[in-house]
Amino acid sequence: MPRGFLLSFAGLGKALFEQFSQVDDLGRTMGTNPSNGDHEKRVYNRSQSIFNAAPSMILCLGTTPALQRVMFFRQLRLDAVNRAHRTLEGIAGKSINVAKVLKALGAAPLATGFLGGVGGEQIQRVLESRGVAVDFVSVAAPTRECVTVIDELDRTITELVQESAAVDVADYESLQNVIARHLPQCLALVMSGTLAPGGKVDFYAACVKSARTAGIMAVVDAQGPPLLEALAAGPTLIKPNRSELAATVGRALADEAALVKAMHEVQERGAERVVVTGGAEPTLALEGEKLWRISSPRITAVNPIGSGDSFTAGLVWRLLRGDDLGEAARWGAAAGAANALSPMPGELELKDVNRLAGEVLKERLG
């Protein structure tokens, strides 16, 4: 059994926030004592009052959040002592990046997934301090840590990734309940990243079904079997990068024609819209017969990790504002590029997004 939900709501629009302020306080109390059933009941009951409000949130789901350290070296040498001249500490993992960027863009994210141990508490605290609403399932396994190593002389970026520990089947069931409870207040469910071991490969598929039943947008940024399973459930949008799409269809995609063919294949398997990013190379976006090519703005990238998550956040933000897929992808590209300007994944400035959007070329190919 999960040890309890960490429930709080910090980051809603002003009207919602006013209704929520009491819940937030209670939520924080409960967060420090999740086993206290009285608190849990009170928080849940209080939160019912805002459940009648118009849906406004974007549910950001990811089962593998991470504490993130970014270390800068003049030059890195293997098999030697290396001393960082600058180190940044933060929070990341794909869904956390999406939530952080949505908040920076002025949207109302609600972050969910698994958190464990001291690192999990830290992630929750940082999100709350930024006004991001959170409702995570607390798990026994400590939240993982990732380190990005930047070599300034050789201009390389190396990721050291601690894989997530396994969670219980019951944890996944609890997460499904959290999602079901929040979907009525949400405009979209965004699913990002690999699945923590312990769940079923069709977890995203089940989440897509729930979101579609609730009549909201279901977005999947994943690859391989979890993405293939999710396709059959008819996601509104999928956003792999080029190599993830190649891994999903099981072959190399050498050129744009091969890419477009693979996009049509996943479309036929059930995805309503397919967006494939390519770092500094163009993004392709497909909806029905319509196809766009979106150029990436020219920038000097500091760290492009998390640019795909930022792209997804920008894309969903603009789709919910009524843009068509091509226009929303233009904003996605601007958000992805803005992310690459900062060393910490999922940290960008709205002014950079606005400026870079003007530098993105959008072409209609079909």
Site residues, ligand ATP (CB under 6 A): 241, 277-280, 283, 296-297, 299, 301, 304-309, 311, 333, 336-337, 340
Nearer to ligand ATP, 183 or 340 (CB): 340
Write the CB contacts of 14 (distance below 8 Å, at least 6 apart in sequence). none
314 binds, among Mg ion, ligand ATP, none (CB under 5 to 8 A by kind): none
307 binds, among ligand ATP, Mg ion, none (CB under 5 to 8 A by kind): ligand ATP
76 binds, among ligand ATP, Mg ion, none (CB under 5 to 8 A by kind): none
53 binds, among ligand ATP, Mg ion, none (CB under 5 to 8 A by kind): none
For the CB of residue 191, give the shortest distance to Mg ion in the complex, in Å.
Answer: 12
Nearer to Mg ion, 116 or 345 (CB): 345
Residues comprising the chain, all counted:
366
Nearer to Mg ion, 236 or 307 (CB): 307
For the CB of residue 187, give the shortest distance to ligand ATP in the complex, in Å.
Answer: 22
Tokens of 349: 């400035």
Write the CB contacts of 317 (distance below 8 Å, at least 6 apart in sequence). 58, 102, 105, 106, 107, 328, 331, 335
Nearer to ligand ATP, 31 or 306 (CB): 306
306 binds, among Mg ion, ligand ATP, none (CB under 5 to 8 A by kind): ligand ATP
Tokens of 135: 């409702």
Q: Is 142 left (phi over 0), alpha (psi -120 to 50) or beta?
A: beta
47 binds, among ligand ATP, Mg ion, none (CB under 5 to 8 A by kind): none
For the CB of residue 140, give the shortest distance to ligand ATP in the complex, in Å.
Answer: 27
For the CB of residue 40, give the shortest distance to Mg ion in the complex, in Å.
Answer: 35
| Interior/surface letters 56-71, b for 16+ CB within 10 angstroms, e for the rest | bbbbbbbbbbbbbbbb
Residues of the shown chain interacting with Mg ion in the complex, contacts defined by CB under 5 A: 308
For the CB of residue 30, give the shortest distance to ligand ATP in the complex, in Å.
Answer: 32
Nearer to Mg ion, 47 or 303 (CB): 303
For the CB of residue 239, give the shortest distance to ligand ATP in the complex, in Å.
Answer: 7
Q: How many Cα atoms occupy the beta-carbon half-sphere of 24 within 13 Å?
A: 19
320 binds, among Mg ion, ligand ATP, none (CB under 5 to 8 A by kind): none
Minimal CB distance to Mg ion: which residue? 308
Nearer to ligand ATP, 97 or 138 (CB): 97
For the CB of residue 201, give the shortest distance to Mg ion in the complex, in Å.
Answer: 19
Nearer to Mg ion, 12 or 271 (CB): 271
